[in-house]
Chain A
Amino acid sequence: MKEVTITIDNTKHSVAKGLTVLDAARQVGIDIPSLCFMKLHDINIENKPGGCRICVVEVKGRKNLVPSCCTEVEDGMEIQTHSMRVINARRTVMELILSDHPAECLTCAKAGDCELQVVADRLGIRELHYEGEKTHLPKGNSPAISRDPNKCILCRRCEMMCNEVQTVGCLGAVNRGFHSVVTPAFGNDLINSVCTFCGQCVAVCPTGALTEIDESAKVVRALNDPTKTVIVQTAPAVRAALGEEFGNEPGTLVTGKMVAALRRLGFHYVFDTDFAADLTIMEEGTELLRRLKGYLAGDTSVKLPILTSCCPAWVNFFEHQFPDMRDIPSTARSPQQMFGAIAKTYFADLLKIERKDLVVVSIMPCLAKKYERARPEFQQNGNPDVDVVLSTRELARLIKLCNIDLNQLPDEEFDQPLGESTGAGVLFGTTGGVIEAAVRTAYEIHTGKELPKLEFEELRGMEGLREATIDFDGLDLKIGIAHGLGNARRMLEDIRSGKSHFHAIEIMSCPGGCIGGGGQPYHHGHVEILKKRQLALYKEDGSKKIRKSHENPYIVSLYKNFLGAPMSNLAHLLLHTHYFDKKY
């Protein structure tokens, strides 16, 4: 690689040609502040519209200050990152941004996690010298995401995630100048747009302009209602991230402490979505094998590949954008909804209570789960299978609200019968995990033999598109994996054009899978955190005694005592769904 010599703040450095001034400076330990800029290394995407002008620097010989995020280094360049002129410009820019920003920091949902606040503080802004017109636009709500355009600083990160990474195309900038605003097409609300509620816009928003709809008050109300039995399920990815909200290193597993905290919050039963993930494997795995057998027997009505259907944003995506292909994904409901359906029937019967007196709360790394739980097909007479969904962040706030110090809690175990899970179930939280779990079960059912090794390294990793061939005792099962909806789109287009050669494809909407979900602790651009969360889930899988879904004793007894067999009539009624054409 070619190198160039530059001088930054009076010190000479050799840096790679082609770097931006910002990257070069950060490499040599000079942290130029930035705001709209965001680089997601692992998914190889950058947001650098050069719009905010916070990262300006002075370059000798140039008349104007230049934005360091989109200026490349040149040989012999002399750069000043903190001259009087630069500091004054930066502070003026920040004051102008703040002059059109509601000063609601004390009550803002992003308080303490706001990048605008952090940078303003770093620049030492203690007074605003400018007063001018303020934006007064209506807020937009939806079942999952709250939009407050008045807090938007037009960094365009959400637009980048929505259009380039996810290729959803919901959010875009409209109007011009002072009237610019980022919104769905035609000024519609998110619910009347192509939004999938994946929440990746929320995950990158530097301010409180995009946040989740906070439903923790509903949970507090239910927990304080003596007529209700309140149970909770926790998604696999939550345990690998919740600890971050309490000062732990990314990748710290807090499964036992999370269970203890939920018990102290007052939940009557603390259950695990991992249990429902095992159940999903039984249904989805059986469906895969049936479709595979039909296909191999030459039945032309059988469609392959089969696509996973656990991810609600992915379901929204293909309903909106590929409705003609909605017969390809598995009909299996997501683990969250399987859990809700079993809880409100099987478990309510065990407790001898009516479904209306049972409140099912989900803790999810995801915002689309809030939308999913409200879908009409997942309700009975207006009573939903899942009553409230809280994100990982909302749970952390609830724990703090209730004076619980997570780090001081003992490790506790989930309750039974819906809390027992296998290592396969916990893998659902990461890209590649659902298909690895499915392969463990499908292999043994299909071949009748025991797997020699449970870890499928070829299915693991962080590449956006991966493929692997697994030897099913003579049958080569071709597997594809995509995470991020842009990668999912490529998979779908290949299937449509007949180029796809896969038997089964796993799709997760968020980069990294659920560990990178829109409801997780904010990564602030440090996507390397996702790898640590992934390793934590692999670790949890490895530490489990039972690691194959079909060996979960509570799953075995659920089929024996209630469901009959995978894909039985009752299983169809409770654990499967159908999809809609939502193209508009």
Chain B
Amino acid sequence: MTTLSESTRNFLVELCRKYRNDEHELINVLHEAQDALGYLPVEVQHLVAGELKIPDARVYGVVTFYSFFTMVPKGKFDISICMGTACYVKGNELILDEFKRRLNVKVGGTTPDGIFTLSTLRCVGACSLAPVVSIGNKVFGNVTPLQVKKIIDEYIEKAEELH
């Protein structure tokens, strides 16, 4: 296991303390940890387990159970293609294929420049807009394969602005 930086360590210890080191708050702790760090590597899980006084296996079980949690770093922008029934029927598989082709990654993969992670999810509750693609908090509705390039370019620009 590699070691965490002093500041990450302090952040996690504080975070657990904020939740009174209560094991029942595990999911909240993991949520905030992932928000801050981008992902939940083994070292983070081990430290959280120690702080909440629960076995590593329990933390690892929760992290692997919920698809929201990830153990590998994600890109700046998480492109989520809805595969719920409505979006699926309205042809979101074609949209997914187009993202795969243009970004040259598989589902769950991250582009080498670290900008995009491509993932799928089940229903964001916007079925009237099907097919939908969500990036962060933004939801794109009635997406067509032709719009994919435009969406990607828009976020590449955003990434550059962030730099």
- Chain A positions within 8 Å of B, measured between CB atoms, are 163, 168-176, 183-186, 193-194, 584
Contacts of A185 in B (CB 8 A): 45-46, 49, 55-57, 59-60
Say which residue of B1, B45, B46, B54 sits within 8 Å of A169 (CB atoms): B54
Docked Cα-Cα span, A171 to B56, in Å, equals 9
B122 lies within 8 A of chain A by Cβ:
no
Q: Shortest beta-carbon distance, B24 to chain A, in Å?
A: 16
Contacts of B1 in A (CB 8 A): 584
- Tell me whether B42 and A163 are in contact (CB under 8 A): no
Given known pairs A175-B65, A176-B65, the reply for A186 and B55 (CB within 8 Å) is: no
The complex places the Cα of A233 from the Cα of B26 at a distance, in Å, of: 48
Question: Are A172 and B58 in contact (CB-based, < 8 A)?
Answer: yes
Could you list some 23 contacts between A and B, CB below 8 A?
Answer: A163-B55, A163-B57, A169-B54, A169-B55, A169-B58, A170-B57, A171-B57, A172-B57, A172-B58, A172-B60, A172-B61, A173-B61, A174-B64, A174-B65, A175-B64, A175-B65, A176-B65, A185-B46, A185-B49, A185-B60, A186-B45, A193-B57, A194-B56
Alpha-carbon distance A294/B58, docked complex (angstroms): 43
Closest Cβ neighbor of B59 among chain A residues: A185
How far in angstroms is the closest Cβ of chain B from A198? 15
Question: Chain B residues near A170 (CB, 8 Å)?
Answer: 55, 57
By a CB distance below 8 angstroms, the chain A residues around B65 are: 174-176
| Chain B residue with the shortest CB-CB distance to A584 | B1
How far apart are the CA atoms of A556 and B60 in the complex, in Å? 54
Task: Beyond the given A172-B61, A174-B64, A175-B65, please list 7 additional residue pairs across the A-B interface where CB-CB is below 8 A.
Answer: A169-B56, A172-B55, A172-B60, A174-B57, A186-B42, A186-B45, A186-B60
**A168 to B65 CA separation, bound complex (whole angstroms):** 21
Closest chain A residue, CB of each to CB of B64: A174
Measured CA separation A185–B46 after assembly (Å): 9
Kindly count the residue-residue contacts between A and B in the assembled complex, taking CB atoms under 8 Å apart: 44
Question: Lowest 10 CB-CB distances: which A-B pairs, in order?
Answer: A169-B55, A172-B57, A185-B56, A174-B64, A185-B57, A172-B61, A185-B60, A175-B64, A174-B61, A176-B65
- Cα A168 to Cα B54 with chains together (Å): 10
- Rounded to whole Å, the gap between the CB of B8 and the closest CB of chain A is 18
Nearest CB of chain A from residue B4's CB, rounded to whole Å: 14
Task: Give Cα distance in the complex from A172 to B64, angstroms.
Answer: 11
CA A185 to CA B49, docked complex, whole Å: 11
Q: Cα distance A172–B54 when bound, in Å? A: 12
A174 touches B60 (CB 8 A): yes
CA–CA, A267 to B138, complex, Å? 76
Complexed CA–CA distance, A176 and B57 (Å): 14
Docked pose: A186 CA to B64 CA in angstroms: 9
Question: In the assembly, what is the distance between CA of A186 and CA of B43, in Å?
Answer: 10
User: For residue B1, which residue of chain A has the nearest CB?
Assistant: A584
Set A175, A184, A584: member contacting B57, Cβ < 8 A: A184
What's the nearest-Cβ distance from chain A to residue B30, in Å? 14
In the complex, which residues of chain A have a beta carbon less than 8 angstroms from the beta carbon of B49?
Answer: 185
A171 to B1, CA, bound (A): 19
A169 CA to B45 CA in the complex, in Å? 14
For A186, what are the chain B residues with a Cβ–Cβ distance below 8 Å?
42, 45, 56, 60
Chain B residues in 8 Å Cβ range of A193: 57
The distance in angstroms between the C-alpha atoms of A175 and B66, with both chains bound, is 8
B:71-120 near A, CB below 8 Å: none
Known contacts A186-B42, A186-B45; A194/B55 CB under 8 A: yes
Q: C-beta contact mask, B36-59 vs A, less than 8 Å → 1, else 0?
A: 000000100110010000111111
Residue of chain A at shortest CB distance from B61? A172
* Bound-complex Cα distance A584 to B50 (A): 10
Q: Considering only CB atoms, which chain B residue lies closest to A187 in the complex? A: B60
How far, in whole Å, are A22 and B1 apart by their CA atoms in the complex?
46
Report the Cα distance A176→B58, complex, angstroms: 14
